[in-house]
Structure 1
Amino acid sequence: MTLTVWKSPSDPSPSSVVVAMDTSGDPEVFVWNGPNKVWRSGPWDGLQFTGVPDTVTYKNLSFTFVSSAREVTYSFQVPNTSIMSRLVLNSSGAGAGGGLLQQ
């Protein structure tokens, strides 16, 4: 699956920025801007993607990675239902994560 970023917050047409998992070797997530790779997650080491070393310290998130002959999937869950979470990638390819704790 490939996710294509909007051109701008007010223009939902596709930009040249895409996010996808490359499964041609050790599976990694990449962000491309046109033909250029602008970010990579590094391969999964059993706990986290090596290019995102502080992932294991995210106490409010639970990560799952599956790599087999039939599928490659990566997902996260927020076990605490009072927390809403989202990931955002802007039109230049810069990412941000956010969470909101409901009172």
Structure 2
Amino acid sequence: MKVEAQSEHNLVSYHSVMRDGSDSSDLENFLWKSFDHPGNTFLPGMKFGNDLVTGLDKYLSSWKSANDPFPGDYTNRLNPNGFPQIFLRKGSVIQFRSRPWNGLRFSGMPNLKSNSIYTFEFVLNQKEIYYQFELINSSVVTKMVLSLNSVIQRFTWIEHTQDWSLYLTAQMDNCDRYALCGAYGSCNINNSPACGCLKGFKPKSLEEWVIADWSNGCVRKT
């Protein structure tokens, strides 16, 4: 069996495939597709999520280093259970979550809005669950990247500078860190410190609170 790698221009730009060389006329006879294994980069036309028929999980993983594409510490993947939402993890520890789709966007990502560059959709049916974006203007080049330090960033290519420009980040500020203030805690980035307790609650450990360790959260006042 002869296997060859080639670019499949009839699908989407940047999409590389490997197919059985004995039947190159069959466009569905793929042994491997780069869009099924996105690495740290999410491109237009990719499906980010789960194939419920084959069990294939299409997710982002950070690089080990700036020069080493081996999977690093962080993964960003769609959890299909319950109300599907995206979880960014370091190992098994949750760092950020998108919260469920509300019909317009993931409810924990308010900066994901309609724009002139790309459209996006969330698809949920018996065969697959995925998030996808498509370009409105094909001359625009944009990508979403999971960085080495766990930030989910969207970039656009600026032709006259020949460089990528940061368009937005999924995590808007420190309050987007998962469970930063612990149980019954609240986060307000305009306060210092950002963490506080809900009304009727107090820090579980004042000693930890004063050194900016809010992870144990708050308990009800007695």
Q: Do residues 21 (structure 1) and 21 (structure 2) align?
A: no
Task: List gaps (5 residues or longer) in structure 2.
Answer: 1-56, 161-222
Q: Do residues 6 (structure 1) and 73 (structure 2) align?
A: no
Match of 1:60 in 2: 117
Match of 1:84 in 2: 141
Distance 1:89 1:13 in 2: 13
| Bigger CA radius of gyration | 2
Equivalent position SS for 1:18 = strand
Match of 1:94 in 2: 151
1:71 deviates by 1.2
Distance 1:27 1:102 in 2: 37
Q: Do residues 44 (structure 1) and 101 (structure 2) align?
A: yes
Distance 2:139 2:127 in 1: 34
1:57 deviates by 3.9
Task: Report the TM-score, using the length of structure 2 for normalisation.
Answer: 0.43
Q: Do residues 33 (structure 1) and 108 (structure 2) align?
A: no
**Which of 113, 124, 132 is equivalent to 1:75?**
132
Larger displacement relative to structure 2 (56-65 or 66-75):
56-65
1:86 deviates by 0.8
Confirm or deny: 8 A CA contact 1:82 1:102 kept in the other structure.
no
Specify which structure has the higher proportion of strand: 1
Runs of 4+, deviation exceeding 6 Å: none
Distance 1:88 1:82 in 2: 20
Supply the RMSD in Å over aligned alpha carbons: 1.6
Confirm or deny: 8 A CA contact 1:27 1:43 kept in the other structure.
yes
Distance 1:94 1:69 in 2: 31
Alignment coverage as a number of residue pairs: 103
Distance 2:153 2:61 in 1: 16
Distance 1:68 1:92 in 2: 33
Distance 1:22 1:50 in 2: 15
Equivalent position SS for 2:72 = strand
1:102 deviates by 4.8
